[in-house]
Amino acid sequence: MIALKDSLGTEFVERIRTIFSENGLLSKAANFEFRPQQQEMAVAVARALEEDRHLVVEAGTGVGKSLAYLVPAILFALEQHKKAIVSTHTINLQEQLLYKDIPILKKVLPVEFEASLMKGRQNYLCPRRLERALQQANELFTGPEQSELTRLAEWASTTRDGSLSDLSIEPDPKVWTQVCSEPHICTQKTCGQNPRCFYQQARKRLLAADLLVMNHTLLFMLLGRPDEQEERESGFLFPNDFIIFDEAHTVEPVASRQVGIGISQYGLKSTIQRLYNARTRKGLFTVMRDANGVRLAAELVDEVDRFFAAVESKSDFRKGREFRVRVPDFVPDTITERLTALQARLADVIKRADDEFLKAELQELTRRIRDTRDGIAIFLEQSAREHVYWIERTGKTAQFCSLNAAPINVAPVLRRMIFRENCCCVMTSATLSVGRPDLAYFRERIGATEA
């Protein structure tokens, strides 16, 4: 483990030291074993929190690092009216925290605190969107999809929290995308007062919680989309919060993916087919009875397939699922003008729409199409400097392709995003050092040179 200061600290730091002592509060927990390194790490975390500075600490197997950061994080959050965010990479660690470590601390610590798992909003059913989907079922869904919609409606009346994890059978993605919570559609303004809105109720629980557990992917997605974080004034995701990254050795690749570009053939087709699916003759353009939109969407889906077929024909996947693209204009741009035309068509349709809910649906799809068009242009022109570009086969059978770009060095991005002044971020993992006991290589790679 990285050498940590062992000097005496403030009353809070000393209290943490005592909790982890041989006869401290934690000694009441089953199977407790005094571990000097665990105590040392807990003291370092407490000191970093109190001094509003960043900390990088390597804690090998057997140290008990999760309790070493949870205890100071919980107590500091409660006493300073802050919110603790713990971010992990794996579901296994999330489950360990939620179902093992946190319950232990609820029994042992002499305080009451609320912990909650933070999921992405698209994990939640939106009753308002479900109601509209049922009203427009004939224009949006095929017969089998309508049966799936009925199943979801029945489940919605009995589900505990309205999230995918409460569903026994994974829903049809084409149906779920029409009824799940979406930014700009399921908002505090439109759904916040609805006691049946599962996402908004989850959001209230998150705002009330002292400790949040989430994964790295969701965290960086939210950090990169401030428009979704109405609550944020200071801090990271919420006012006056702080972040602890466990499994921090995965932060660099996850952050690189999230702040980069990723455009999949399947995702783009799915977005367009929400407007109109030529095979089923269903979609929002059908709801609006817009013949020009129907034609544009149908033609564009075919063009998407042709464009990605050209991409695949120029890619060499003999060595794996990824192919590096080193030059601009890898394939002819046959698609961005068509996406621009579709965006213009949507703008006209939105002007004609007298239904605010339908407008919100169309505006959300317009944003997605605009972002996709911009991403494709950046990829083909390779206009993002200091980025690496590649094609990747996606899907379980690798039948689709995606365009990807990511910064060669994510450190400057993370420095702005995470390692700011007057806030605290703790990074820990069992494996951070690469031949350097001071973790210099890892700190340099993630922009934590001052930690």
Query: Domain limits of the chain?
Result: 11-114+225-246+425-446, 121-198, 261-407
CATH 3.40.50 fits 11-114+225-246+425-446, yes or no: yes
- Six-digit token string for 219: 């965290």
Flag whether pLDDT at 398 surpasses 70: no
Round to whole Å and give the CA distance between 66 and 64: 6
Amino acid present at 179: V
Report the share of the chain in percent with pLDDT over 90.
75
- Per-residue pLDDT, averaged over 314-335, amounts to 94
pTM above 0.85, yes or no: yes
pLDDT at res. 221: 92
pLDDT at res. 188: 80
239 compared with 334, residue with greater pLDDT: 334
DSSP 8-state class, residue 424:
-
- Per-residue pLDDT, averaged over 420-433, amounts to 84
pLDDT at res. 402: 96
Flag whether pLDDT at 360 surpasses 60: yes
Q: Which residues pair with 264 in a beta bridge?
A: 402
SS3 320: coil
Flag whether pLDDT at 302 surpasses 50: yes
Flag whether pLDDT at 232 surpasses 70: no
* Strand residues in 47-140 grouped as ranges (E): 55-58, 83-88, 115-117
> Of 260-274, 291-305, 395-409, 421-435, which gets the smallest average pLDDT?
421-435
SS3 50: helix
pLDDT in tens, 21-38: 999 999 988 888 999 999
> Of 59-68, 101-110, 231-240, 312-321, which gets the smallest average pLDDT?
231-240
Phi-psi region of 219 (alpha: psi -120 to 50; beta: other; left: phi over 0): alpha
pLDDT in tens, 117-154: 999 999 999 999 999 999 999 999 999 999 999 999 99
pLDDT at res. 2: 38
- Please name which of 428, 437, 435 lies closest in space to residue 54, comparing C-alpha atoms: 428
